Structures are given as C-alpha cells and as structure tokens.
Structure 1
C-alpha cells in the first residue's frame, strides 16, 4: 500500500477518541510513509472497501488551530484523500425540541443552505447580547451526504446495532471495558441551567458531580425513560457549534440553542472548514455545563467511532473516486484568499463599524435597563405540552387565520381554569412560533404576584426580547433612556411608545407577542393594556397587507371585566376572540388522550394487570369535570397511593376527586396529618408574600411565625434543608419549588384558600377559604416587623466586610440565601425591609397585630437599624425619587401609616412642614400616594397646604397628576391654590388633564382654575389632554372656553399635539372647534408634519381632507413629505404625493377654465382677448 491509496481522512482530537477509532478498523497497515514536515501520529488501515488514515491532535492541544494544522499535514502526506471525518466526543445541547442525552450521537447536517458547523467567536460574546457568529462551514462532500441519507433511511426502518458493535470490540479487548463501556443510566443527570457546580470542588476533583450537586428533583430536569421502540443511543442531525473555547456554562449554551438551534458544542471542527471539508460526528459525553461526566467520555468516543464505521459502509468507492482530492481544493483556496485580502479588510471594517453602531456601550446599557424580570424562567415553570393536545386552539379556524395573516392582528383566547392555556402559550413560544430569521417572538407570562402582575414589567420584557433579536431598533429607546435612566422601567406610556414605534418600524422583522394569563395582571394595568391594544389595532388597518406586521396573542379566563374592556374592539373586529369555553368537548377529547397515556405509564411502572388498567382508565374517563389541572392532581394522587402500597396491582382507588377543589382538600388533608399548624402558616406566608419566596426566606419567615415571643431576642429561622425536605410532605402537590422559590401549584389554589370572610378555622371546616386577605396580611406584617426589630445587626456588618454602604452590605445577603448555614437568618432581610410597610399599611385600623411601639422602633431615624432597612426599602421606589434621608413623619406619610402618625404627633418639637432635600413635605408624600386618612390628619394638625418643592411643585399638583379625587377635594377645601404655576405640567389642571382624570379636572375648573393658563411642557391644559387622547377631558376644556389655537409648549398647539400622537377623534373635535389647520409652531412645525412624521395615516387623511398644505415649511422637518420619507412611512408618502398631484390638477383645471373664458391663448402664452367697444379708438366727428 502507498500513500496515494488512502482516500478517507479521519481526525481525532484526544487520545480516547484515537483509541476508539483504531478499534473499528477491519485491518491495520504500516505507517512508514509520512512527509518530512508532517508532525502527526497516524494509524492506517481498512474499513470495508475504504483505506483510511486516522490522525490525532498533539497531546493537550485543542481547538480550531490545532485541528487545521493536523489536516494540512495529513493531505500533504496522503495527497489522494478525498473525504474527511472528524470523529470524537462533544458537549450536548439538550432542549425541548431535541432530547439529547449522554451517549447519544450528533452528526453535522446541512440545512437551510448552511453547512452543518457554525463557527462562533466566543471572545465577542457580550452579556445579554447575541453570540457573534463568524461563519458556517461549507456542506461536506456529496459522497458523504449521499451515504448519510442512506444510513438515516436504514436506521429508520431497521434501527441500529451500535451497542452490539461496541460489545464486539469490548469482548476482544477486556482491558477497555472499564473506561469504554456504557455507564449506568443513573449517572446521566441534566441539571437546570442556573445550577452551577461549585468551582472549588471541581478543582479538587475528589467527588463525583452527583455527590457534590445531589439529585434533588428541584435541581434537575426530569426526563422520561426512553421507550422500547426508541433508539438508545439516539442519533441527532443538525448544527454543531465550534469555537476555540470550551463551553462550560449552561446559560451560554442555551443562548446558542435558542438563537441557532445548535445541538452540540466542540472545539476543532471550525478549524477544518477551509482545510478539510468533512462530516463531524460527536458522541455526547457532557451537557456543555459546569457538571462534567468523565465516566461517559470513553463510551461517547466508542459510539461515535461505531457510527463512523457504519457510515463508511454506505459510501461507495465509485462516489469517492468522483470527489476531488482535498489537496487540489486547498491550492485553489489559497489563491482565492490572496486575491480576496483587500476585500476582507473592507468587510472587517464594515463589521467593526456595524458592531460600534449596534453594540456600543450606550446601547448595551440602555438594553440592560429593560431586563427587569426573569421572563424566561417564568415561562419555563409551566409544564410541556403532551403530544396530540392543544389542538382545540392549534387547529381552530380563528387561530389559523391569525397565524397565517400577513397584517397586524390580535387574537384573544379565553378559556376556563385548568384547560392548559399556559401550557399552550409555552408551546407556542418554543415550538409553533419558534424564533427564526424572519420572525421575532416575544412573550410574558403574568402571575398574581408583584414580580409578574405589572404592565411595566411585561412591556420591559417584550422590549428586551425585541432588542435582543433586532438590536437595530434600540434607537427608538435611546432618547427616553437618556432622559429618564432607570426610571424608564416604570413609565408605562413611554414603554408602550418605544415598543409600538420599534415594532412598526420599517426595518423591523415580523413580530409576534404572546401574553399569557392576562386575568392575573393587576386590574388597573390590565385595563390599561387592553386600551392600548385596542387603540393600536383600531388605528391600524386590520386587513391591509403589510411589509411586516406586529401581532399579539393574549390568553385569559373569560372574565366579564376583561370582556367589557375588549368590547369596543370585538364589536369592530369580532374575529379577534377565540372562546375556549365553547370548546370544552374538544378539550375533553384531548384530555382523554392524556388519560390513556398516563394510565399506560402507570400500568408499565407499577406492573398493573389489564383489568386494573382498564378499571383505572374507566374511572378517570367517567369524571364529568375533566381539566388538565384536575387530571394532573388525580394522577399524582394515584401514584402516591401505588407507591405506598405493597401490592399496587391489587390496590383499589378509594375515591377520585370529583373536582379540582376536591383534589385540593385531599392533598392538604394528607399533609395536615403531619403538622396542621405548620401547613396553615406556610400557606399564609405563600399567599401573603408580595413575591415568591426562596426556601431560605421561607425558613426564616416560618421560624419567626412560629416563635411565641417577639418581645425578646428571637431564635430566627429553622433549618433550610429540613424545610426543603419537609415541604413536599406537609403540603404535597399544593406547592412546588422551582429555582429554589416556592409557588402554589396554580392560581386556583390561591382562590381556593382565600375567602372574603375573616377566615375559617381549617381544623373545623376543611381547607376551602381557610384564609382571609386581612389575616394573611396581618401574619406577614407581624413576621416582617418582628424580624427587622430583633435581627442581630452584627451579622449584616460581618458580611461582607469590604463593602461600605449599608445597602451594599444588605443586598449582598442574596449571595447567602441558599447556603448550607443552618443559621442563615440574613436571607429574609431584603424581603422584610422592602415590604414591611405595605403589609402594615394593609392592616391599618384592623385588630392589633403587634404593639405599635415595636413598629415605631423602625421609625427611629437616628438608629443604625433604620439606615440598614431604609436603604433597601428605597431602592425599588426610584420613580418617586425618595431621598437618602427622610424624617419619621415624612416616611409615615409616604407609607400611609396613620396609626404610627398618631404616635409621632405626640412627639415634642415635631416639624410638621419639614422639607426634604427637594422641598417635599409629609403632606406632599401623602397626597401623591393618595393616603386620604393621612392627608386629613396632617391638614387637621395644621400642615401648610401650598408648600413648594419636588417634581410636582406642591401637594395639590401631585394629587391631581395621580387622579386622587378625595385628596384633591380636601386640599382645595383647605385653601390650596388651584392656579399655582410651575413644574413639568405647569399647574394642577394640566397635570390632571394629562392623566385624563375627568373628575379632578372638573373639581379644579369648579374652583376657578384658569382654563387657558400657560406654562409647563405642554403649554396649556388643552394641549396636555389632546396629546394623550383624553377625549372627554378635551370636550370639558373646550366647553369651558379653552382657546383651541393657543400657542405654547413642546407641540405648539393642541392640534399638533393630537396629530403627533395619532388621536383621530381629538383631531376632529379640535377642527370642528375651529383649530387652525396650518398653524405653525412647536417641535413639528404644523399638524400635518406631526402626523406624517409618526405615520398616523388616518389623521393625515383627515388633515388633507380639510385642506392642509402639504408643502408648508416646518421646524424639525422641512415639510410633511420630507418627514414621512425620512421615517419610511411609504403609505403616508403616497397619500401626500397623490394629494399634491390632485391639487396640481385642480389648479391647472381652474387655470384652463379662466383662460377659456378669456379667449384664445397666443403663441407666447398671452391671452388674445376679444375686443370690446371700450377697446375701440374714439372717433371724432
């Protein structure tokens, strides 16, 4: 044999792969002929009819460069090599779409015009930004692709014999068994992305991952065992990511999985892209995370080599001879590279500019502002969809029309509790509407807690996802972020403006937004969102084809309040609602499929005879009120019964729950046998907490709640690990732990527990409505105040010592919240410090929950304890600009603590009108936040009503801007000046008008507020109301004599203000009142330019129909046509051009008519008029 006889090149990266590869040679040859400068180690041999050269990278040299060097030397020593294989181990990238497990095989497979290998530049990775992909490989040679297709078909029909091939090798080579045989399946553990292997244990290497990280189901992603008819190991075909740095971070892994659908990570294949066109075959030995599985490396190498041998058996020698030698291809490539160097420099410069343009520090900082929630984790809490379910939506005519439409569209899906709405939403995001190059999918899952029930949080999540996928759109957010900074996170109107403008930008790709469980959004925010959606889709033509579109899908329960809010929209667009409550028959049929599947699983797991299996299935199918939630609870209850039974096959299911509520009763009653009081306390804490608590926080809270005395030093907290073990026993399925946080199983669980009455003792009347809202608030207030007043501050001071500010020290305790320290009582500090005032405020005037003197300890501003809790408390309230120091009375007013205020009033030398650094008083704070009782107490005590200070200037101004009617009336009755001028809004009337607070506007007008008073950013009240589209307020102001053409403020006049924001009805109202159509002034210059620059087609048409001048010159833009063209609003440009053309035609027609009346036109264009008697010369006699 000579070097020209070898046509297959096989490259390995490490010794383990090299050993495995050699074992699958049918015969081995001598390797004496190697080029002088070739540094590779070779094993030569035959597999089937092919002569193969196997090479391995130098010891402990990894990465793309080393692989390239080996490939170059190989083709010099063996010039006739025509096909390449890169065979070895890699890190798996499991996902809901690809169930990749240890020992599986991933084969690089071209798709969508791309090669099977993605090279990425890890060095360019930026937190919260996409990876910088640099290139895709070319497809492998045709001969390999053809063989790959044949092998795939063979495996589909007959399965594979890879394990048998490995066994045959290990029978011959017994010394390889311990390292290369398949490990026990129990060692295949996939940890959740946020669970990181402790670094010090990794370095020590003394313990296995399971010993260090454990097998707690809460830390793992649980996967069903593979069925007998499924391949194991499985073979996956798709994209392999290759770079120069080992991926050891599950969060980083998941980004590439999400963005590029990557199946595997490795470090060599990208180096072969220009040197060695090949197919890459990887056996999975770990999950590309911090948890290494060394015991799988040998088997993974073996199974990859076995697959490579099987593949070569499907490669014909005839097809190999038809491929060009790789050496010839490299010679051509080198010439092309030399010629293309200059072009490469140009491309690199363009990429550098593009990176600076899209990913500069300012834009990255702006992008990070919108990451206010763990929206992905909140989605992932929901279970996966079972095959064959959710068809009641997916195959519904209305859903299909919405999905397939090519215009802006909205679909509202309503359905009863427990029907799988959130499961459907999750599946929609992850599968049916998966992100790809032409589509961006954004989502938010509402939940009835303060971290997930806010419209501002939802909008931030949508914007963050949109800018992650389409970073060029971030320009829509930069001005607002530069103006407001982090405060932008709470400014709903501005967030909506950013999102809607970016989403309708001509450079945007198609966008779909999925909003799940709208019924769990805070009521005021929910109404506001529906109003915004209604306006968006009523302003935009719902059926006109768009170059790109913005669609929303919203799910909720069929609540009357939501239905009434959607009424205006559904009356115009009835197709937007899909009523799941009318699809119960279809939902029941789907649940029946799940019942059958679950019964089969139970029968297999517990070895049930056919008769028991049939009986169980019949019982489940006989239940009338079948929902997914009910079925889940029922099946889990049956599992528990079978687990405890010595003979599951003979076990009789005593009583299946008839409803979800019956299931809840059974679950809690079983847990109550262990410790009823603890169960009740835990439920009180979970329901009462403003956000889901961590296990560490719950351990402390439960310890405080069960402590008999708060007057003395408390032994705070119970052991966290013990609680984590006991919680499933005490509460069963009613609660679950996800990412170390504790949740109720479903929103219906909270509704089951909390009644409208004062609470019923669970011991006497079961568990339904065993809690009351007041009772849980009282419980949480007692826990938080007791904890803060008795906690040993020295523990905060000790951790960590190098931090200076109290807030830094306190925030750092988050690092300790899940430690093994049994006395980790710091864990609850953040929650208690932030939320105790709200809990106390909720039980004002109720039965005493704690002696008030204990609460007042927290108001001692001279105490070191105050500084620690107050710094944590003020952080989330940035929108209120809470100063670093407040007096006790100012803070009590801010919190609405009237009971505390009574005690403070008894203090000597009390300064009722003390002002903070911005001039705000206690009355100001109480008025802004609408604390009516506190406002009345302060006024009765003699607080100065017109003190100036702060963004809102005075108390009346602050109350008016928030629409607090009773507070406004109290202040006016005490002599507040209705016309006081100053600040952002100019006066109280403008503030109320901007917010659309009709009753407050009327009260101010009745008190004699000047309707045309000038000042502030809007200029006057009519401009303020017009800019925000508050039609009723606009009408009130006009009826009171507001000057429709008054000039001033940012917009110049009311018509410009309404036009710029697209408020068609307000525009018409102003025009009907005589608004000057072409009045100049303000930022935009005139109304037509304002509407054109923002793409408001309907308003543009109204203005044109009224005779607006298209060519009128303005300030920021030259004219309306220029403004629309600059912003890319093609439809508006067309409307303006058509209007210009028609106007020109009218002028020409009028001119011709005049000329026709005047006589024929002379060649020089002058009119040759008919001579009249007056033109005749006078004749004398």
Structure 2
C-alpha cells in the first residue's frame, strides 16, 4: 500500500513503451509500488513513487497501441483516479530531425524538449489539416504551451546548463547502479560508430537490420564530438498518428515548421493535459530506423526528466490547478480527435501513394483563387437565377455548363463564391477548382488537371489507385501527360465509392491557345458521353467561365451542337447585372459617406453620378470608388469637391490612376510595370527589388553591390502605382487581366501615353537583360549546386528537384536565380534583339564555354525545369543555341565556316534534332541549308523528323519533308517511325502530313515488339488518329505489341469508342481472344463496363463458363 493518499500524487508521467517505463522507474528515488485503488472506469496500470520532492505516477500505453489518441485516453483515465495531479511529463523516444545549416546538430542519444515559439506551443500536429504546394501541410487548429510553472523551471535549467554540467550523465550512472539489469539489457551507450546520418535521397537496402552494408558515400559528414554525453535541444516537436520512416517527409517537417523531433503521442495531450514533452533520440526518422539506440535513448530522456523535476519546487506544484478541473475538456478533445480520424479517409496505403499524391501539387492553386474578392450579398443573380444554372445545379447526372461575360462582370468572384460557399465540400460532394491566369504557371492544361486531381485525392486517398500505376510507369513525367491525367480524372470520379464531384474552371480564355482547344475538346466529349445511358451511383460536373470569345464558342460547337451556356448578352441580362451593380453602388457610397463624414447632399450627388454612368461593371466600380475615396479623403473641403472627373470606363480609370504618377518616379514605375507584365510568374517583393536594381543600374557586378531595400520598395510600390497593382502574400500582381491589355500594344505603334505604352518584345527584352545580367553576377552561388560534392548528374538533378520543391530552403537570391535560369532563354527568344545590342555580348558570355563555372549553374537548373528526364546533356554552344531556339546566336555561329553542323552530343543528338524537337522553326530553317536532314542517332530522338512528329510541330514536319527527310526511317530506342510517334501522341494533323508525304501506314517497329501506328493510337485512345489510319488502309488485325494487336490494346486501355471503330472495320475478336477477353473479363480494361460485347456474333459463340 503506498504511503501517500491518492490526492498527494501531483506529477503524472506517461510512457508509450515498456522500455520507457522501465527507464523512468530506474530514476525513482523511492518506489511506492503498484497502485490498484483506481476509478472504476480507469483501465491503466500504475507505478507510483518519488523523484526528489515530488510524488509521481507512471502510466504507459496498452501493449501494441500508440498514437496521440491512445495517449489522450491514458491521460483521461489517469486524471479520473489521481484527482490531485497538477501536470505531466511525456517521457520516451522520438525521431531526430537535424538541421546542420541552423546549428541543430542532433545526434542519437540526445534529448529534445518541447519549448514554445512565437507561433506554437512547442508541439505541432503535422497530420491534421490539408496538403499544400510542394508537399507542405497547412495544420488545422493549434496546441497549447506547457503551464507557466514548467516553463519557469525550464528557463532556470537552461540557464544553469550554460555554466554548469548537466546532471544527466550522473543520473544515467545511478540508474544502472540502482537497476543493474538495465546494463545487461542494453540501456548503455551503443557507441558513436553506430550513429549514422544519411542524406534524404539515399535509401536503406531492404531487409538489412543494420546499416553495415549501407553506402558510406551517402552519409552526412559531421564533426566528432569531444565526449559521449547527451546534449539537450529545445524547440518544436512534431506529433502525429503515423510512424515517420522517410527522410524526405522528415525534412519537410523540418522546413515547414522547424521541428527538431517527431513522435506519436504529444499532440493528443497538449490541449488538455498540462505537460512537457521529453524525447530521447533513437533514430533519424528515415528508412535506416532500427532498435540499436532505443533503450539508451529512453534512459537519457528519463535522466533529463529527473533533472528537470529538480527545478520544479513542491510549492510551485501545489499552486497549479488540479487537472481534474479540466476533465471535460479532455473528453471533448479525445472525442474530437477520434471523430477526426474516423471521418478522415486520408491514410495512404503505401509510400508510393503519398509520392504520387504529392507529385500532383505543382501549383499553388489555392492562392490564385483567394486573391479574388468575396462576392457581395445578392450579386451574381444573373447566374443563380438563370434556369440553365438551376438545372445544372440540381441535376443528379454528369453535366457541363459554360458561363461567359465581358471583363469586369465578376466571373472570378462568382467562381470563388461557388467554391467557398454555394458548392461547399460535404461528406458526399467535393468541389475541385482551378483559376487560369495569363502567366507561365497558371495557363497550362496539365497544371489545371494536376490541381483537380490533387484536390480529389486530398480527401479521397482510396482513389489514388487510379493514378499510381501510371505514376509508377512515368514518375513525375505523368504530370505532363494531359490525356493520361484526363483519363485518371474520369476513371477515379466514376468509382462507385467516389463522392459526387464538381469541377470549377475559371477564366478559360486565359489558358494558352492550344491547351484551351484541347481542354474544350475533352469537355465536349465528356458532355456527349454524359448523355449516353450509363448507370452510375455518382456524378461529375463541370462549370467553366470565360470571356465571350467566338473561338471558344466555335470550338465547343465543333463537337456540341447545343451547348449548355449562360452568356451575359442582350438587354435583359445587362439590365439585371446593372441592377446588381446599382445595389452595390448604394452600399459602397453609404459606407464611404459614413467613413468620411460626408453631408447627405454630397452622398446623394455622388450616388446619382455613379448610377448615371453608362458602362458599369464591378471592376469599374472598384476603381471609381477608390478614385472618389482618395479625392475626398485628402481634400480640405470634401463636400465642395467636383465629381465631374469620375472615370466613365475601366480604361479611363486606368489612365487616371497612372496620370497621378509624378515625373520623378515615372520611369521607375514604367520599369516596374514592364517587369510585372513581362515576368512569367508573379515576382515577390524581394525579387522585384533585385530586378529593379539590375534594370536601373548599369554598373552592378556582384551581389554585394545591390542597393534597393526590399522593405522600402514594399512601402512605396503601391503608392507609386496606385490600384494598378496589388500585393498578396508578398507577390506582386496586376489588378486585372484588363490592366495587362491596357498596357500592351499587341499590334501597331506604341503610344506616348500610358495606354499601349509597351509591346511584347519590349517587355521580353527588359526581362532578358535582367535575367542574363543577374546570372553573370560575381559571387552568385547557391548551396544546392555546391556542397556536398555530387557524384553524378542524376544525383544533382534529384537534389535540384528537391531544392525547387522546398521553397523554405531558398533565399530571395536563389529564388531569382531559379527564375532567371528557367526563363531567360524564353525571354530572349521572344525579344527583338539586334546583333549589335550590348545584350548579345552578355548572352555570348553564357554560351562561350559550356563546361565553365559560369555556364553549369544556370544550365543545370534550366534543364531540370524543362521537364526533360535524364542527365543534362553535354552540349556545345551550337547544339545549345538550337535547343534554346536562339536564332540570332545561331546566326553568329553559322558565320564560322569550320563549325561541324552535324556534330552530336554524348547521346547522339544533332543540333537539327534538338531544334526540331523543340519546334524552333527559325533555327530549323537556318540549319536545313547545311545539316544532314536524315541523320540518325540520339538515345530517344531518333531523327529530326521523328522528334518533330513526336511533339506535334506541324510546320517543322512539313519543312523537313520538303527538304527530303526520309518519312519511313526507323530508329531510336524502339526502332519505330515518325508516323508511330505522331500516332502515339495523338497529333492527327502531323499524321495526315506524314501519310500525305508517303508514310507506310502498316510499318512495324523493329525492336521485337512489332507494334505499329494503329496499335499505338488504339492503345492511347486516339480516336481521330485511329480513324485516319483506318481510312488510309491500316491492317486492323495486324499482330504485334505487348497486348497482341490494336483491339487488345484499345480494350485494355478502356477506350470503348476505339474498340467499336476497330470492330466496325473487321477486327477479329477470335484472333484476339487470349488477350482481349482476359483483359475485359478480368476487369483490366474499363471498356468491359461500357461496351456490350454480346452484340458480336463471334463473342456469342464463346463458352465463358
């Protein structure tokens, strides 16, 4: 029987593992034995005793159970019995997260203690929230800090450790003396030779219990410590319900929240059980996890806990409020946590699923939505009240709706409102969205499809099985395959267990032309298929917004005769939106008058003036109200101000904004706007400061000479440019797409005023100069390319990719280096540069020696961002100019008669092959006068014609054929033809050009597979190409390929329309039985569910029983 009453035990210690409990037991100065007089609902077992002047209770989790929910349950039961508890200690082991760059040299056996920061209570729950860009995670909620008494003791202990030795080594010795069996059972120091930290991209051999056979070259080089005493680290501990055994995930936790340690119990306790978390480091949370350090790490944590209690006085403990007074809170937390994990279907089945899901997050799609303002009450009724919208919204079947309106009518505001409010996520319905934007990152179809898939899989992890096979086959390259991404989206949403899904695609007009056309074709085909009778338990809907462009309507109407659409046109709809704007005008004027204390007659006069304007849109109103506010606010007599100068249109409003730019900063503002318009993506304030420094200074030679202060620029840029730009999350945006159109002169002469004051070539030239000059700066270095030494190019590419994804690891210099390296070739290609321009001299410095220190950093970064997979090639400057499409540079090189125009890189690729692959028509034309048009070689390119055909460059294909390119040449890795390459990718116009040029429609590959163009097109579901090939006499029953023939290939891919086309042309079902029927019956082909094969006479004769 313990010598103390139950209420006299004030400190609770919770351990997850038996070895942790054993270590804590060894620190007891006095054991009071087992405690059995428990509450009837208490399922814990307890050991009680004394440490210093504190009576303590030790409890551990049930055998085989871990996680923060289980820890919370143990704490709940403990408080039921020990009603006098004041605080707790969570003592045990955890995974270390070293950050050598910041001095956190955490070793095995060290101790990590939770300590609050400015933004956290010392513990973060990393697996409750939602995934963000680059694999990051936005956590939901927050966790409390330890009680003040514990933090006070922690501060005193840390202070003493600055000048005095820790008592942890002493307590470790005492533990072994008190419990000698601990020594024989492995609770002693294992030895530094068993402490290895490996780089994140290295992997532990499967099945190896130790690291004796691991690659030593992957080990991180760390200084040797002077002694074996454990060191103590204070900071953030990441807690969740999953064991982390992946160094990449570990490093994401380090970069995302600054965690020093990861474990599985603390998050379940911090909000309801006042406690401090103490973890002994037993591994580095990677694939190299083993048990060698577990017991010693539990001992170091227990020893630190004993030293910590020495700094907590019994008087302080008594003054703390008993935990049982917050028992209800504990119950609520346990219930909420249990409910959360029961409802969340977010568990990855395996690590490959996680990697596949993360791969789809290639754009910050959330931010592009959130930069739009919220919808005002009772607006957008021209949509919500439209019978076509009501029909679409209420429909329980797959459907499509296109909404179009002129600029400034609130389409993006509508889309945001639909996502956030009207069409919210529920347990049976998910909203996925993408907001197109006219820049390099948000104008591509593949990025939009990846965003939709990432959102779908974010809440429906079980649907990842539709994507992982393609990801395992293609890796990150999958994110470039538009047709495959679309197939995955349709297949996953058709799963019987999938919820209903609505996809919102905003500003389709800002999607790049070719991609927009392909997307419309996909949506049109989806709409046609949705009208066919097919039973399914859920639905997929699309809502698309855009400007009312004729080419968008015409592309839809090429496939859909009657398009479900809402178009803001005619007097009725215009009157409705004018009425909505009038309502908003009255509301805004009322608030403005109230804010500025305007007289009633002034308010009435202003309201009437705004209501009389003819061209009223939401964008115009926003600009006009800002104009009025600034006019009245800075006036000595606002009620006497004239309002005749109110802008009557958006363009006039833009003029008035920029007219206020003073002469002293006019050129600076022009430069800023030229940069904003020309940049491929929104630049941050810091990047703008660098770009502006380069653009306005001709003498900069090194980073040290930069002089524009980022904070100063941030304070002034909106003042200089007015409403023309805005800043969101430190990134600079134009107020609206119409602002870009206002500034840019697409055709015709540049004007002297603000409207059409730039042309595209002008902005591209500006960005070319900035990027090239930045790359050429002295002392421009980035750690990703420097240390440690890279053994091969592939490892370098892996490191660069990781560096690109982990944005928090980069500073502004590195961010802008990445931008410059990725985009300077494109900027230069689109600029109109003269041969004598000083920029040409600087460009040649980047070309002079493709093995130099000046060349390698930018090219290595550029190569990774081009999405070419494999090692960066060793190009000479001639091949590089062809690859980049720099015709002016190529012209200067071709002047040299001695240049070998047919020279190859290490993979056998010529300059003509690279130019053809990239579709650089001007360079191809320059090379054709001297290059060998039929040169063969290249690891993947085969020939110039094959390369151009594979990428769908119609004009280049025709140019090559006109110069004698052999249309039926075989070559490359699979020894196939240009027709095969074009058919496989679905480039129907190129297929037609090749056939017109004499391509053999039934040519087979020579690699042993013997597949042909029809097989390739059928396997990919390329319906139009299949039709073209069949019309040209393709042999429908030709044998070859992994699947056997075209019919088998189409059925395995689930392409029922292609299957029907082949059957209509006489495809032999019996000849395909061994493969096709197995594919269909076993479910390998989705066509089985969609096509009735029993209508085929030959199929009816089969005995399938």
Give 1:859 deviation, angstroms: 1.0
Structure 1 residues 518 and 672: alpha-carbon distance in aligned structure 2, compared to 1, 3 A threshold:
farther
Residue in structure 2 matching 1:956, options 919, 924, 945: 945
CA contact (8 A) 1:696 1:818 kept: no
RCO comparison, higher one (Cα < 8 Å, 6+): 2
Q: Does 1:68 align with 2:94?
A: no
Aligned to 1:898: 887
Whole-Å separation in 1 of the counterparts to 2:366 and 2:553: 28
Residue in structure 1 matching 2:554, options 560, 564, 568: 564
Deviations along 1:831-870, one digit per CA (max 9) or x if unpaired, are 1111111111112576865352321110131321111111
Structure 1 residues 1023 and 557: alpha-carbon distance in aligned structure 2, compared to 1, 3 A threshold:
same
Give 1:953 deviation, angstroms: 1.9
Residue in structure 2 matching 1:676, options 662, 666, 672: 666
Give 1:581 deviation, angstroms: 3.4
CA contact (8 A) 1:1050 1:1082 kept: no
Q: Does 1:938 align with 2:927?
A: yes
Q: How does 1:378-527 map to 2 (within 5 A)?
A: 378-527=368-517
Deviations along 1:1060-1111, one digit per CA (max 9) or x if unpaired, are 556566545434433224431685347965999314666x24x443435157
CA contact (8 A) 2:674 2:766 kept: yes
Residue in structure 2 matching 1:754, options 720, 735, 744: 744
Structure 2, unaligned runs of 5 or more: 1-11, 13-35, 40-55, 60-67, 86-122, 141-154, 160-238, 243-252, 258-266, 275-326, 791-795
Whole-Å separation in 2 of the counterparts to 1:809 and 1:1089: 45
Q: Does 1:776 align with 2:784?
A: no
Which one has the largest radius of gyration?
Answer: 1
CA contact (8 A) 1:456 1:492 kept: yes
Question: Secondary structure at the residue paired with 1:624?
Answer: coil
Deviations along 1:332-352, one digit per CA (max 9) or x if unpaired, are xxxxx9xxxxxxxxx99x999
Residue in structure 2 matching 1:796, options 754, 759, 781: 781
Question: Secondary structure at the residue paired with 1:614?
Answer: helix
Question: Secondary structure at the residue paired with 1:515?
Answer: strand
Aligned to 2:212: none
Give 1:890 deviation, angstroms: 1.6
Q: Does 1:872 align with 2:880?
A: no
CA contact (8 A) 1:508 1:548 kept: yes
Question: Secondary structure at the residue paired with 1:862?
Answer: coil
CA contact (8 A) 2:444 2:511 kept: yes
CA contact (8 A) 1:456 1:489 kept: yes
Aligned to 2:51: none
**Considering only aligned residues, what root-mean-square deviation do their CA atoms show, in Å?**
4.7
TM-score by length of 1: 0.63
Give 1:37 deviation, angstroms: 9.9
Residue in structure 2 matching 1:852, options 822, 826, 840: 840
Deviations along 1:386-432, one digit per CA (max 9) or x if unpaired, are 11112222232221221121111111111111111111111111111
Deviations along 1:891-925, one digit per CA (max 9) or x if unpaired, are 11111112212323355864433333432222211
Structure 1 residues 362 and 987: alpha-carbon distance in aligned structure 2, compared to 1, 3 A threshold:
same
Whole-Å separation in 2 of the counterparts to 1:580 and 1:1018: 55
Deviations along 1:351-376, one digit per CA (max 9) or x if unpaired, are 99998x73421211111111101111
CA contact (8 A) 2:700 2:706 kept: no
Aligned to 2:877: 888
CA contact (8 A) 2:400 2:541 kept: yes
Q: How does 1:208-247 map to 2 (within 5 A)?
A: none
Aligned to 1:374: 364
TM-score by length of 2: 0.67
Deviations along 1:743-783, one digit per CA (max 9) or x if unpaired, are 10001111111112365243xxx211111112111222222
Structure 1 residues 1032 and 1048: alpha-carbon distance in aligned structure 2, compared to 1, 3 A threshold:
same
Whole-Å separation in 1 of the counterparts to 2:489 and 2:997: 39
Whole-Å separation in 2 of the counterparts to 1:1088 and 1:825: 55
Q: How does 1:718-757 map to 2 (within 5 A)?
A: 718-757=708-747
Mean Cα displacement is larger for which, 475-484 or 942-951? 942-951
Structure 1 residues 650 and 976: alpha-carbon distance in aligned structure 2, compared to 1, 3 A threshold:
same
Question: Secondary structure at the residue paired with 2:847?
Answer: coil
Q: How does 1:1091-1102 map to 2 (within 5 A)?
A: 1093-1095=1085-1087, 1100-1101=1091-1092
Q: Does 1:828 align with 2:813?
A: no
Structure 1 residues 561 and 800: alpha-carbon distance in aligned structure 2, compared to 1, 3 A threshold:
closer
Aligned to 2:615: 625
CA contact (8 A) 2:402 2:544 kept: yes
Question: Secondary structure at the residue paired with 1:605?
Answer: helix
CA contact (8 A) 1:243 1:268 kept: no
Whole-Å separation in 2 of the counterparts to 1:715 and 1:123: 41
Structure 1 residues 547 and 244: alpha-carbon distance in aligned structure 2, compared to 1, 3 A threshold:
closer
Whole-Å separation in 1 of the counterparts to 2:962 and 2:377: 66
CA contact (8 A) 1:759 1:771 kept: no
Give 1:631 deviation, angstroms: 0.6
Whole-Å separation in 2 of the counterparts to 1:1055 and 1:891: 42
Aligned to 1:1053: 1045
Whole-Å separation in 1 of the counterparts to 2:273 and 2:1100: 57
Residue in structure 2 matching 1:976, options 959, 962, 965: 965
CA contact (8 A) 1:407 1:542 kept: no
Deviations along 1:491-534, one digit per CA (max 9) or x if unpaired, are 11111111111111122111111111111111111111111111
Question: Secondary structure at the residue paired with 1:436?
Answer: coil
Whole-Å separation in 1 of the counterparts to 2:377 and 2:1023: 49
CA contact (8 A) 1:122 1:131 kept: no
Question: Secondary structure at the residue paired with 1:511?
Answer: strand
CA contact (8 A) 2:130 2:138 kept: no
Give 1:740 deviation, angstroms: 1.0
Q: How does 1:1032-1047 map to 2 (within 5 A)?
A: 1032-1047=1024-1039
Question: Secondary structure at the residue paired with 1:403?
Answer: helix
Whole-Å separation in 1 of the counterparts to 2:805 and 2:84: 58
Question: Secondary structure at the residue paired with 2:505?
Answer: strand
Whole-Å separation in 1 of the counterparts to 2:888 and 2:991: 32
Whole-Å separation in 1 of the counterparts to 2:137 and 2:268: 14
Whole-Å separation in 2 of the counterparts to 1:488 and 1:268: 42
Structure 1, unaligned runs of 5 or more: 1-12, 14-35, 40-57, 78-119, 135-199, 205-241, 254-263, 272-324, 331-336, 338-346, 1114-1118, 1122-1181
Give 1:704 deviation, angstroms: 1.8
Aligned to 2:189: none
Give 1:660 deviation, angstroms: 0.6
Mean Cα displacement is larger for which, 462-471 or 1047-1056? 1047-1056
Whole-Å separation in 1 of the counterparts to 2:804 and 2:478: 27
CA contact (8 A) 2:933 2:944 kept: no
CA contact (8 A) 2:435 2:506 kept: yes
Q: How does 1:673-712 map to 2 (within 5 A)?
A: 673-708=663-698
Q: Does 1:912 align with 2:920?
A: no
Q: Does 1:579 align with 2:571?
A: no
Question: Secondary structure at the residue paired with 2:866?
Answer: helix
CA contact (8 A) 1:411 1:552 kept: yes
